[in-house]
Structure formats: C-alpha cells, structure tokens
Copies of this chain bind each other. A is one copy, B any other.
Amino acid sequence: MKNLAFDKIKCKSGFWRFYKDLNRNDIVKNVYNRFKETGRFEALKCNWREGDANKPHIFWDSDVVKWIEGVAYILEEAPCAELETLVDEMIDDIAENQSKDGYFNSYYLAIDPSKRFTDRGCHELYCLGHMIEAAVAYSKATGKDKLLDVTLKYIDLVYRVFKEEQSAAFITPGHEEIELALLKLYEYRGNKKHLELARFFIDMRGNNSVEKPENCIQTNKPVRALSEAVGHSVRACYLYTAMAMLAKADKDEELKEACQRLFSDITKKKMSITGGIGTDHDGEQFSYAYDIPNMDTYNETCAAISLTMFAGAMQELEVNSNYGDIIERVLYNGFISGVSLDGAKFFYANPLEIDRKKYERSTYQVDCQRVAVFFCSCCPPNVTRMLASIMRYAYSTDDNKIYCNQFASSEARFIINGKAATLTQTTDYPSNGKITFAYSGEPTTLFVRIPGWCVEYKGKTENGYASFQVSDGATITVDLPMEIHFIEANPYVQDNSGRYAVQRGPLVYCMEEIDNGENLRDVTLIENSDVRIASESGIPAPIIYIEAERRLPSTELYRIKDSERNKFTARLIPYFSFANRTPSDMIVWTMVK
C-alpha cells in the first residue's frame, strides 16, 4: 500500500476546503506574524548577543522550518510569490550561517557553538529532522534545492559524528523526529545513507549502554520489544511513525508487529474519543491504560497530528480500515479543535470538559480559550503543515487498486495499469454520508472505507472496505447512514462511567454553557426524543438539537433521590468548534436516558 501524495489530489469544496482556505488565507499568516514578533525568524541570523531582546530558544529552528514546510505545501497547491519570497530569505539566512562542517542550529551558533551535541535534551536532531521535512517539501514544491543542500550537508555531519565516530555525548535524540524525516528524504532522493542513519537511530534506541532507560523518551526498551506506548506522546508517535516507515522499507516483520502492538495499545486503551492522546499533563505523557480524564486531559494538538502520522504510516503497511477510522476520528475532532474558526488562535491542550471554576484552582494552567501564541509554539505551524497536506490521507493504492480512506469533494489523479486515471469524489461529508465517485481510466477496483461508526451500513466489506469494479465512465454512490449514536467508553475508563458521548458520523459533539446554561454535568439527554440536525453559518458541520433535562435548583445540599427535572432543548455543537465564542464551560461526556 502506498498513500497517494497530496499533490495528486485537489480538494474542491466542503469541510477540508474550508480549513485549507483558512490555512492559506489566515493561519499561515497569523503564525508568521506571531513568529516574527517573537524573533524566531531573526534568530536564523545567529547573531543574538547577551542583552538583545528575544533570546533564541533551543526549539525555535523547528518552529521556523515547520512553518516553511507548511508554506511549501501551500505553494504546491498554488503559487504565492509573497510567501515564497519570505521563505527564500529565511533559507538564505540558514545557508549563510551554516558552519563549514555542515552544522546548523541557530541557538547553539548564537549562544555557545562549543556545546553542540552535548545535551540530548536540547532538540538539535529534532530541529534537523524538521529541517529535512521542510527541505524536501520546498524542493518538491518549488524545485529550489538550497535548503535541501544545506540539510544534506548537515546530515553528512550527523552521520559521521553519530553513526561513524559516535563522538557525540549521546547516541539517539531526546526528541524523536529525525528518524521519520530521514525516511521521507530517503523516499525522495533514494540515498541509502539516509535510510541507514534512520535505521541506526531506531535500532539503537533503548538498545545501547550509554543512555539510561527512560519511559518519558521511549528508551525503556529496544523498539522491537515495545508493547506499550509510554512517555511524551508526540515523541512516541514520531518514533512509531518512523518505525512503521522503516518496517515497510526493510520489510521488517518484527518491527511491523511492534508497531501494531503500539497502535493497538494507544487506540484501544489510551485515546480520548476525540482522538486526543497523551492525557497526562505531567510530561505531556501517555498515562496508564484507560486513564482518560476529560477535564484534566492534555491531548496536545501536536499529539493528534503525530497519531495521524502514525496511522498514515500503518495504512501503508496493512490493508485495514481501522487506520483510516482513527485518522478520521483525529482529524475531525481532536486535531482540528486545535485551531479557532477564524484561524487566529490555537489550543495546545484540548480538554473534553471545561469547568472554569475548577480550572481557576487547577494545578495545571489550562487554557479555556485558544491563544494566539505560546512560548512553546510547536502546535500552530504543525496545524499549518497538516492542513496544507491533509489530502495525503485520502487515498492509497496497491497493485493498481485504489483505496479511498477519507472523504472530501476532490479530484484525484492515479496511474492505473500505466495510464493516467482520475477519480472525482462529490460529497457533503461530514454533513451527510452520501459520497459519489466518478471514475475515468483503465478498469480497476475501488475500495471504499466503510467507517467503523457506520454500523447501519449493510453492504459486504473486506478489511473494512467495500469494493467496486470500476471502468472508464463509472459512477459509484456510497451512502453511509449517518445516525446519531450515543457512545460509551470501556468500563475501565473510570471518568466516563454512566456517561455517553454523542457522535454523528465522524464528529463528536459537545455542549457549551453559552447554549445550554450552567452546570453542564447535570444535563441528561433524552435518547428517544425529537432530534433536529441543522446547518448554521460559521461552523462547517451540522448542529444537533435534542431534548434534554436537568434537575431543579435546590437549597438543600443533600436530599433523598428526587426525579423532578426541567426539560429544555440542548444545543450540541461539533467538538472541534468549542470555545469559539465567549469563555464558556463545555462538556462531551453527558448523561443519557
């Protein structure tokens, strides 16, 4: 299986077109402005001196190059001279300040070049990883290889210092990322050296006598022995993504099985219903199995992205609709909740419940509203690059067969039996589940993912896909009944016992105080009542109105069980759209009767 590159797919309208336009018109510029204000671009000049404003930070290079990567994907869809000029200037700065031996890191070059490669926790290889991704993306999008050349030279240095000489103070990076980046580069350029270096970092992890075993950075075991996702969730999924890519490149069954175990552990035991992972604020980590709190969960936006990447890589290893299901769950919920509907503000943590009074007393600084900029601002440029390339998850191909994994009105170009083919998808997804495919090209089989949520679909499926023989001019319509489902969590998820989430299609819903009054935990939805699905302006997905009730106010603190309730019509909005108005309490897991 091979995911179809996003540049082969033109997203034409609908949900993701809304966000892709928002990205191009607003998000990418907002991120640029915040980064410029905070000195992140200026830092590339490597001339900061004590006493200057905006002291560079060890991870700033990664912020900048992730933004460049996002711009590259935007340019690949349609040119933009203004953005391209900005990027070229940044690349000039990087190239100009690259050390003779290939090293580049704006923090170390400005602050203390003698300290390079001495502190595993200082993100140098992480920054290089992101630079590789940006360089590949920019080369593909513009044909300009200046950043790629800088990067290749830096990789040669890293290859020598880490793999050949082993002369750095550490063996594998403290924050994984370079592994998957090297594998992407290998796919792009085919240089075995890059595959070797990726394999080296993956194989040595948790598997050498220099570095001590640490759960938080996944050095607890050699990678092939891993069964449980532990530690910092973004680092973990970046590593697991690379493991899956390497398993494919090397046809490494043992590594593939480790990836399957890890994917299962995450998605069957450690994932919010929104696809959020890394529930533990402390260290942004995976918690123990089934510890999936709502109010105190972390669920970093970057972690949602990293899980999507992991699932995307798994999708290339195995025909199983579960990977597309998880990608869909993450993208429509816990990923896209990370950005405001106006593209100006971002969530780092994505809670499933907000009680502002509790938050005021919380140990953790939880934001009830998205903010324009963070000190640690990994998420905003990650949102940009994900949105600009999100169509990469739509299709995959295998031996001239087409797999449709995600739904969006779009036009995709394939090579089937050596000849150009196109597949047009027309849908209002996720407003409803009707998807029409129009095909032109050589005869093939079209496999369409039947989402796990669609228990009402009655057709035959194999590995979760319905299959259709298509030939030139064929039109296929798949109609996925999109009922409202009340979802329960595994009994071991203590926080959700007696509570249910409302899901319709891929969208998880929530209630906000601003619509439903205070005291949201006391609301009970009435299961068999009139339900209204409504399209409303400002939110690119339907609103649900459903009958509900809550207890009457009382002056007693404790009283004998009483059933008096007030009825009202609850307004449920898609989870991703919460916190886009005035600050408000919010809840996903509610009572149902």
Contacts and interface: CB of A to CB of B under 8 A. Distances in A.
B554 A491 contact: yes
Given A358-B291, A361-B280, A557-B267, A497 B485 contact: no
Given A288-B357, A561-B592, A268 B555 contact: yes
Nearest to A565: B491
A485 B560 contact: yes
A526 B487 CA distance: 23
A337 interface: no
A494 B268 contact: no
Contacts of A489: 557-558
Nearest to A355: B494
A479 to B, nearest CB: 20
Nearest to A508: B558
B494 A562 contact: no
Interface residues of A, number: 52
Contacts of A551: 488, 491
A386 B120 CA distance: 57
Contacts of A486: 560-561
Interface string A522-561: 1010010000000000000000000000111111111111
Contacts of A455: 560
B280 A557 contact: no
A113 interface: no
A554 B497 contact: no
A282 interface: yes
A282 B488 contact: no
A287 interface: yes
Given A498-B498, A560-B485, A554 B490 contact: yes
A591 interface: yes
Given A355-B494, A490-B557, A500-B561, 15 more contacts: A268-B555, A268-B556, A268-B557, A288-B361, A486-B560, A486-B561, A487-B559, A487-B560, A488-B559, A492-B519, A497-B519, A497-B521, A498-B522, A498-B591, A527-B561
